[in-house]
Amino acid sequence: MKLAGLKSIENAHDESVWAATWVPATTSRPALLLTGSLDETVKLWKPDELHLERTNTGHCLGVVAVAAHPSGIIAASASLDSFVRVFDVDTNASIATLEAPPSEVWQMQFDPKGTTLAVAGGGSASVKLWDTATWKLIASLSVPRPEGPKPSDKNSSKKFVLSVSWSPDGRRLACGSMDGTISVFDVARAKFLHHLEGHFMPVRSLVYSPIDPRVLFSASDDAHVHMYDAEGKSMITAMSGHAGWVLSVDASPDGSAIATGSSDRTVRLWDLNMRAAVQTMSNHADQVWGVAFRPPGGTGVRAGRLASVSDDKSISLYDYS
């Protein structure tokens, strides 16, 4: 497996680009890359040339998270203005506006069936679940404190929720917090199951393996990437190589690799059989806030793609083979 740089767009946005995800292909168009920036805009890009398809406005502060529905028809963007905007990908028509308390949303993700949007609720120490048929709030999953007395427990900001990920079967939801703990929930019962431990600094990004609903990957400010058995509550391995915070992680569609972005300005590709970084890409001049593999599907799509976005306002696209 390897990455080859395909294209980079400098000044893709007017400010730092903090969020990126792929909108799946539909019958009428290929997958699109969706990016969100502190310049208050969301942009949609064609997948191979990074041609700008559309710029969406509607937020009055920086966009910190984006999510795409598995149908490819709708997407959501969350901003520091404390609103989540749900919109039609092809027309930019607003579908719903979800209110969150100030600066509450740091990450969000639609479940694999597309029936629920999970929103990492920042300082509320919870994950909010929204029904995508009615856009009503259906559950709030509160993150409990880890067991054991810790002097820092007086400080509730430690439970600030930064990241969220659905298991590929939609049965589990994991969220990462400022204090380094990862909480796993049984979604159907809206029940907290257990914590995964090992990080002691913020967990900014999580992703489940697309081929094994037990395996979860985490990216933390402690410069490590962890691989967990999320059901067995155990860490499988800890991988290191970055020289700074690991800000984002994503898993390749075939489940054989993960990619990470870091404050050390690099993107790394990790071979999961070797459990080691096999390649480092240095396209960016500032910290890399997002990495995202293109989902499989769409007519005539043979090649894998990985995108990365950065504080340097640029987007890079790589061939993954």
| Domains with residue ranges and CATH for the chain | 3-13+99-144+158-320 (2.130.10.10)
Percent of the chain with pLDDT over 70: 93
Find tokens 């499988």 and name the residue.
236
Question: What are the beta bridge partners of residue 76?
Answer: 67, 86
Query: Distances in Å between the alpha carbon of 283 and those of 266, 268, 288, 308, 317?
Result: 7, 11, 10, 9, 10
Strands 74-79 and 63-68: antiparallel
Compute the distance between CA of residue 172 and CA of residue 219 in angstroms, rounded to an integer: 18
- Which candidate, 59, 29, 19, 71, places its Cα nearest to that of 247? 19
- Cα 152 from Cα 264, distance rounded (Å): 28
Per DSSP, which regions of 24-104 are E strands? 32-37, 42-45, 52-56, 63-68, 74-79, 83-88, 94-99
Question: Pairing state of beta strands 191-196 and 182-186?
Answer: antiparallel
Chain segment 258-295, per-residue pLDDT in tens: 999 999 999 999 999 999 999 999 999 999 999 999 99
Question: CA–CA separation, 67 vs 65, rounded Å?
Answer: 7
* Residue 144: Cβ within 10 Å count: 12
Which residue type does 98 have?
Answer: L
Q: Rounded to two decimals, what is the model's pTM?
A: 0.94
Instruction: Give the pLDDT of the chain (321 residues) as one tens digit per residue.
Output: 899 999 999 999 999 999 999 999 999 999 999 999 999 999 999 988 899 999 998 888 999 999 999 999 999 999 888 899 999 999 999 999 998 765 578 899 999 999 999 999 777 788 999 999 999 999 999 998 766 555 444 454 557 899 999 999 999 999 999 999 999 999 999 999 999 999 999 999 999 999 999 999 999 999 999 999 999 999 999 999 999 999 999 999 999 999 999 999 999 999 999 999 999 999 999 999 999 999 987 776 777 999 999 999 999 999 998
CB atoms under 10 Å from CB of 272, counted, come to 20
Over residues 61-115, the pLDDT tens digits come to 999 999 999 999 999 999 888 899 999 999 999 999 998 765 578 899 999 999 9
